């Protein structure tokens, strides 16, 4: 089906009070795996290309073209998003390339400079019917707004959304980027306060470090978009490592990369089903009604 606007997926998830999976693309095989997961589950997904991934590939256009093509040719509802762009020009190029949304990350800037830069991105994106996600939280440690202990202030969040016109807000509530153990403790009460403070969907970054049960609780508290990267990368790498350990003579990358792709598909499908709390809640109500 045609490429789906990110706004359509986000608004549908908000309406259903459920979570929306947003998974990072590293290369073509991970994009293929994520689309396969969406098709297997029948659930929507956002494919995300980060500024770091673009730098790895050397340019936006080749990996963007491949990702957009996979999304457009899928039978699932798939949107494409630019993740963690600190470069305003990169955000503009993603808009012009056909992305459904861009995240401008001005969280390392002071409040006023973050607002000014975000407004510039919003003006260009909205002129092209593209959704904008931004990030807000006090800065701390190498993880910026997602360092442990850093929190987004609800009053400041309300002001930031009103001043910038952003369409989604990534908030600091206890998660941290690049965690390989799922031990992060989220401030569920703060998530609920933020949900009531701002009129746009909330985004959880650093979800790789959050346990399944806690992610479910966060979605029910008010998180809509759930970003995952490191967790899926671990499945990809572990599968490749396992294949090479078992087949030390292997030289064809299609063999071992294929194992990684299969592993990502399975785990992405599991996570997408986990995030779909609305369907499980509805099933639970139906079952309870028949008792």
Give the span between the Cα atoms of 241 and 261, in whole angstroms: 13
pLDDT score at 149: 60
Give the span between the Cα atoms of 218 and 122, in whole angstroms: 27
Q: Is the pLDDT of residue 268 over 80?
A: yes
Least confident of 23-27, 113-117, 181-185, 196-200: 181-185
Confidence bin at 31 (pLDDT 50/70/90): very high
Spell out the domain ranges in the chain.
6-289
pLDDT score at 139: 30
pLDDT score at 184: 61
* CB proximity list for 259: less than 8 A, separation 6 or greater: 239, 240, 242, 243
Per-residue pLDDT, averaged over 60-80, amounts to 97
Is position 83 annotated as part of the catalytic site? yes
* CB proximity list for 241: less than 8 A, separation 6 or greater: none
pLDDT score at 140: 32
pLDDT score at 151: 79
Per-residue pLDDT, averaged over 108-134, amounts to 95
pTM for this predicted structure: 0.91
Q: What is the 3-state secondary structure (H, E, C) of the chain?
A: CCCCCHHHHHHHHHHHCCCEEEEECCCHHHHHHHHHHHHHHCCCEEEEEEHHHHHHHCCHHHHHHHHHHHHHHCCCCEEEEEEEECCHHHHHHHHHHCCCEEEECCCCCCHHHHHHHHHHHHHHHHCCCCEEEEEECCCCCCCHHHCCCCCCCHHHHHHHHHHHCCCEEEECCCCCCCCCCCCCCCCHHHHHHHHHHCCCCEEECCHHHCCHHHHHHHHHHCEEEEEECHHHHHHHHHHHHHHHHHCCCCCCHHHHHHHHHHHHHHHHHHHHHHHCHHHHHHHHHHHHHCC
* Averaged pLDDT score across all residues of the chain: 90
Give the span between the Cα atoms of 19 and 200, in whole angstroms: 14
Give the span between the Cα atoms of 120 and 96, in whole angstroms: 15
Which of 55-84 are b and which e, b meaning 16 or more Cβ less than 10 Å from the residue's Cβ?
eeeeebeebbebbbebbeebebbbbbbbbb
Residue pLDDT, tens place only, 191-219 = 999 999 999 999 998 777 788 889 999 99
Residue pLDDT, tens place only, 141-198 = 334 454 556 778 999 999 999 999 999 999 988 655 545 455 566 889 999 999 999 9
Q: Is the pLDDT of residue 282 over 80?
A: no
Confidence bin at 40 (pLDDT 50/70/90): very high
Among the listed residues 36, 83, 105, 187, the single catalytic one is 83
Superfamily of chain region 6-289? Aldolase class I (3.20.20.70)
pLDDT score at 43: 98
Residue pLDDT, tens place only, 215-248 = 999 999 999 999 999 999 999 999 999 999 999 9
């Amino acid at each position: 089906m045609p490429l789906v606007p990110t706004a359509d997926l986000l608004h549908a998830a908000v309406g259903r009070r459920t979570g929306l999976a947003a998974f990072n693309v590293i290369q073509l095989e991970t994009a293929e795996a994520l689309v396969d997961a969406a098709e297997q589950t029948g659930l929507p997904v956002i494919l995300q290309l980060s500024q770091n991934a673009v730098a790895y590939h050397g340019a936006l256009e080749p990996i963007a073209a491949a990702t957009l093509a996979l999304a457009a040719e899928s039978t699932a509802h798939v949107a494409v998003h630019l993740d963690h762009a600190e470069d305003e020009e990169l955000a503009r190029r993603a808009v012009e390339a056909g992305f459904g949304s861009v995240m401008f990350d001005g969280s390392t800037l002071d409040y006023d400079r973050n607002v000014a830069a975000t407004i510039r991105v919003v003006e260009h994106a909205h002129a092209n019917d593209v959704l904008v996600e931004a990030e807000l939280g006090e800065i701390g440690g190498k993880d910026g707004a997602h360092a442990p202990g850093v929190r987004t202030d609800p009053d400041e969040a309300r002001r930031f959304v009103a001043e910038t016109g952003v369409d989604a807000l990534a908030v600091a509530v206890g998660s941290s980027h690049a965690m390989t153990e799922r031990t992060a403790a989220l401030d569920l009460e703060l998530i609920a306060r933020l949900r009531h403070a701002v009129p746009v969907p909330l985004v959880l970054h650093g979800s790789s470090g959050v346990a399944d049960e806690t992610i479910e609780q966060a979605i029910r508290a008010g998180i809509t978009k759930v970003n995952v990267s490191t967790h899926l990368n671990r499945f990809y790498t572990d599968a490749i490592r396992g294949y090479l350990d078992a087949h030390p003579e292997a030289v064809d990358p299609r063999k071992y990369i294929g194992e990684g792709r299969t592993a990502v598909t399975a785990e992405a499908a599991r996570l997408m089903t986990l995030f779909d709390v609305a369907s499980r809640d509805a099933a639970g109500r139906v079952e309870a009604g028949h008792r």
